[in-house]
Amino acid sequence: MYPQRKHLYIKLEEMRKSKVLVYVTGDRQQLETKIGADVFDIFTHHLDQIYKHERISLYLYTRGGDTLAAWSLVNLIRQFTDFLEVIVPSKALSAGTLMSLGANSIIMTKQATLGPIDPSVNTPLNPQVPDAIPNARIPVSVEDLNAFTEYCQQTLGQHASEKEFILLLSEKIHPLVLGKAYRARSQIRMLAKRLLSNQSHAPDKLDNLLSFLCSESGSHDYTINRREAHDELGLPIEKPDDALYRIIKEIYDDIAGELELSTPFQPNNILAKQNAVEYNLPRALVESVDGGSHCFCSKGILTKTQLKNDSGILQNAIYDNRVFEGWEQQNEH
- What's the half-sphere exposure (Cβ side, CA atoms, 13 Å) at 210? 20
Q: What is the mean pLDDT of residues 167-189?
A: 77
Closest CA to 40 of 66, 3, 63: 66
Q: Is the pLDDT of residue 131 over 90?
A: no
- The neighbour count for residue 286, using CB atoms within 10 Å, is 22
Q: Which helix (H) or strand (E) holds 252?
A: helix 242-259
Q: Are 293 and 327 in contact (CB under 8 A)?
A: no
Split at pLDDT 50, 70, 90, the class of 316 is: confident
- The sign of the dihedral angle between the CA atoms of 89, 90, 96, 102 is positive
Q: Are 34 and 283 in contact (CB under 8 A)?
A: no
Cβ neighbours of residue 153 closer than 8 Å, sequence gap 6 or more: 160, 162, 165
Q: At what angle do helices 67-77 and 175-195 cross, to 10 degrees?
A: 20
The whole-number pLDDT of residue 275 equals: 84
Enumerate the domain spans of the chain: 2-115+223-331, 120-182
**Which residues face 320 on adjacent strands?**
302
Q: Is 99 left (phi over 0), alpha (psi -120 to 50) or beta?
A: alpha
Q: Is the pLDDT of residue 283 over 60?
A: yes
Query: Quick check: helix, strand or coil at residue 114?
Result: strand
Q: Are 289 and 333 in contact (CB under 8 A)?
A: yes
The whole-number pLDDT of residue 171 equals: 76
Q: Which of 89-93, 140-144, 187-191 has the highest mean pLDDT?
A: 89-93
Query: Quick check: helix, strand or coil at residue 235?
Result: coil
Closest CA to 164 of 155, 177, 153: 153
Q: What is the mean pLDDT of residues 177-198?
A: 83
- The neighbour count for residue 277, using CB atoms within 10 Å, is 16
Per cent of the chain over pLDDT 70 is 89
pLDDT tens digits for 223-268? 999 999 999 999 999 999 999 999 999 999 999 999 999 999 988 8
112, amino acid identity: A
Decide: residue 138, CB within 10 A, 0-12 exposed, 13-18 middle, 19+ buried: middle
Q: What are phi and psi of 14, to 5 degrees?
A: -65, -40
Q: Is the pLDDT of residue 301 over 60?
A: yes
Classify domain 2-115+223-331 at the CATH topology level.
Answer: 2-enoyl-CoA Hydratase; Chain A, domain 1 (3.90.226)
- CA angle 80–82–83, rounded 5-degree value: 110
Q: Helices marked H in 17-141 — which ranges?
A: 40-50, 67-77, 95-101
Q: Is 51 left (phi over 0), alpha (psi -120 to 50) or beta?
A: left
Query: Quick check: helix, strand or coil at residue 58?
Result: strand
Q: Are 59 and 251 in contact (CB under 8 A)?
A: yes
Task: Report the number of secondary-structure helices (H) and strands (E) in the chain.
Answer: 11, 10
